[in-house]
Structure 1
Amino acid sequence: MSVACRFLSSGLLHKATSHISITGCRNSCFNNARMHWIRQIGTKANSTADSARPVTLTYDVFDGKGDSTPLVFLHGLFGSKSNFHSIARSLVQRTGRKVVTVDARNHGTSTHSPIITYEAMTNDLTQLLSQLRIGKCILIGHSMGGKVAMTTALTQPTLVERLVVVDISPAQSGSVTNFPIYIQAMKDVSVPRDVPRSTARRLAEDQLRKHVKERSLRQFLLTNLVEEDGQYSWRINLEAISNHLDDIMNFPEFNTSYEGPTLFLGGTNSAYISSEDYPEIQRLFPCADIQYIPDASHWIHADKPLDFISTVISFLQ
């Protein structure tokens, strides 16, 4: 039995289909609608010239021996490219494919910007793929990274051979998150200068504990605590993230679709992909399959790495 258990739907799709696995792609042409959306990126009411200007992203490359289409991993909010390093090494070993892990703007060691929208992050990724001379890739995005991956596939479909969206949907996700609380908790952390790193982490965790109850989540947030010249701070751009949290929690509107093979992979212990999202998933991604990994939370790749890897490999085959 597959490590990923398919979710059975009750009449959501055609009656002959017992699970949400859609194998027939529509042949409609949406090029005009897609180009119209792209032209609108720089002209929205609250946009600025800088909103569409790409920033420099940092990345790591894990070279494979094969010449198959490379895999590109996009992390979630508060994450970094290192979140997928062990996964990347395993996939290189088992598939022979090149794997690239990327820091999003305002995360990891990538460039900071006051703007953080999915349009901007898609422009960043498109520029990076061009720099790396990757004309086609398989995009794998978790949470916020999944929304970047979806936006890229919908606006630049020729760049995306296949798409894996990890525990997120093309829907508003603010109702299932505590991100505003986490942001404020991180802003409130104060660590004295010139203390050892172990002491700084302990002090920061003690201050986070009041509002971030799960130890694993505190440890995840603490990966962003960095020291420079004796001063401790967060490497992520909390101010920009806070100002654009509504943008991050929402998803752009599209009148087009991505016709390529797509996998939505959720955790059974997570609420980020619900049955209410299925119609929109079907509309935007008509070749989508939705699967769930048992006993996994929002951070599927951390909770069940072997199941995650096996499911991705099965999808690639």
Structure 2
Amino acid sequence: MSLLRRMLTRGLLPGQLQRPPVAGARCLCSSVTRLDGAQQDSAATSTSPVNLSYDVFDGKDDAVPLVFLHGLFGSKSNFHTIAKSLVQRTGRKGRNCTLSSQVLTVDARNHGSSAHSPMLTYEAMTNDLKHLLNQLHIGKCVLIGHSMGGKTAMATALSQPSLVERLMVVDISPAPSADRTLPMKDYINAMKEVNIPSNIPRSSARRVAENQLRDHVKLESVRRFLLTNLVEHEGHYSWRINLEAILNHLPDLMGFPQFDTPYEGPTLFLGGSNSEYISSEDYPEIQRLFPYGDVLYIPDASHWVHADKPLDFISTVITFIQS
């Protein structure tokens, strides 16, 4: 399927994408490093890094790894299917092999199984990622981030360019998105008001939670996405994400830090044609900060590009790695 292409400075991708087969891969390891209780509170000082949970999928240790960062309310599992397919595709032997890379999917602080902290800024999340890469002895990576994760990826590339060989930003730009603060606040307040009886089956708990969210979260797809954060512990249900920290830092999350020095590595902004998160009004700021960047759109995709069009998304990632 062809993409609607808008080139800023130079072309990185051919206009026609080939759809790869989606195949499974084995998850080598999962590091769950969430802090509990007082440890979580003490981890919150300033922008000190917290421990991040991550999964690693098959690949050669000596190849440049791909690192995926999820969006707000998401988790590392959002990219598991994509990671498995990429490992299978890029790990092939033969003329069409691109890279035989490890693929990492990472939980941001206050999300998934990663540590909680009252601090939730892009400076803090960049420090977390730098800390994780140092722990894993990764000196350079291909960084791929969606939405909030895309802003973390951009901030990392701009502040730590030696860590990022290539940058792919999925359906977000460095331009502020303050107009989206109100609906996000409504989602959080609705989640905080959910009250689920104890000791009921998980399927029943999900139905109860969805019914309570319905008045404030109109789109079924968004409700289902938020419900991926519902967890059970000893018969009691709660949200695994840190709603208070997200609510308190919505202005930070909807904004973007100021940078004066551009990132000069290969960069791709990949948007959904049905999304408004990357608009032509953002192009001057994109070009200022990412002078070797392209902007592409996948037809009929919403903000969740990788979920709506996974095969086109995978093809784009592979082509970007090859270029």
- Please indicate, yes or no, whether the TM-score normalized by the shorter chain is above 0.5: yes
- Partners of 1:66 and 1:113 in 2: CA distance: 31
Contact 1:4 1:311 in 2 (8 A): no
Change in CA separation of 1:65 and 1:49 when aligned onto 2, cut-off 3 Å: closer
Deviations 1:103-129 (A, max 9, x none): 000000000000000000000000000
Normalised to the residue count of structure 1, the TM-score between the two structures is 0.86
- Partners of 2:113 and 2:205 in 1: CA distance: 20
Deviations 1:284-314 (A, max 9, x none): 0000000000000000000000000001111
- Partners of 1:91 and 1:113 in 2: CA distance: 32
1:111 equivalent in structure 2: 115
Normalised to the residue count of structure 2, the TM-score between the two structures is 0.85
2:5 equivalent in structure 1: 6
Offset at 1:67? Answer: 3.7
Contact 2:47 2:119 in 1 (8 A): no
Contact 1:76 1:146 in 2 (8 A): yes
- Partners of 1:246 and 1:124 in 2: CA distance: 20
2:207 to 194, 202, 209: 202
- After superposition, residues 295-310 of structure 1 pair within 5 angstroms as 295-310=300-315
Residue 280 (structure 2) pairs with residue 266 (structure 1): no
Offset at 1:4? Answer: 2.5
Offset at 1:49? Answer: 8.4
Contact 1:209 1:218 in 2 (8 A): yes
1:179 equivalent in structure 2: 184
- Partners of 1:270 and 1:5 in 2: CA distance: 13
Offset at 1:52? Answer: 1.8
Deviations 1:177-202 (A, max 9, x none): 62111111111111011111111000
2:46 equivalent in structure 1: 51
SS in 2 for 1:52: coil
- Partners of 1:293 and 1:234 in 2: CA distance: 32
Residue 8 (structure 2) pairs with residue 20 (structure 1): yes
2:69 equivalent in structure 1: 74
Offset at 1:143? Answer: 0.1
1:230 equivalent in structure 2: 235
2:37 equivalent in structure 1: none
SS in 2 for 1:278: helix
Offset at 1:50? Answer: 1.5
Counterpart amino acid of residue 229 in structure 1: E
Residue 200 (structure 2) pairs with residue 212 (structure 1): no
Offset at 1:176? Answer: 4.1
- Partners of 1:49 and 1:123 in 2: CA distance: 13
Counterpart amino acid of residue 218 in structure 2: K
Counterpart amino acid of residue 3 in structure 2: A
- Partners of 1:149 and 1:205 in 2: CA distance: 32
Counterpart amino acid of residue 293 in structure 2: A
1:60 to 55, 59, 67: 55
2:194 equivalent in structure 1: 189
SS in 1 for 2:67: strand
- Partners of 1:225 and 1:313 in 2: CA distance: 33
Aligned-pair Cα RMSD in Å: 1.6
Offset at 1:159? Answer: 0.3
- Partners of 2:301 and 2:9 in 1: CA distance: 21
Contact 1:23 1:287 in 2 (8 A): no
- Partners of 1:297 and 1:23 in 2: CA distance: 24
**What's the % identity of the aligned pairs?**
71
SS in 1 for 2:302: coil
Offset at 1:174? Answer: 2.6
2:287 equivalent in structure 1: 282
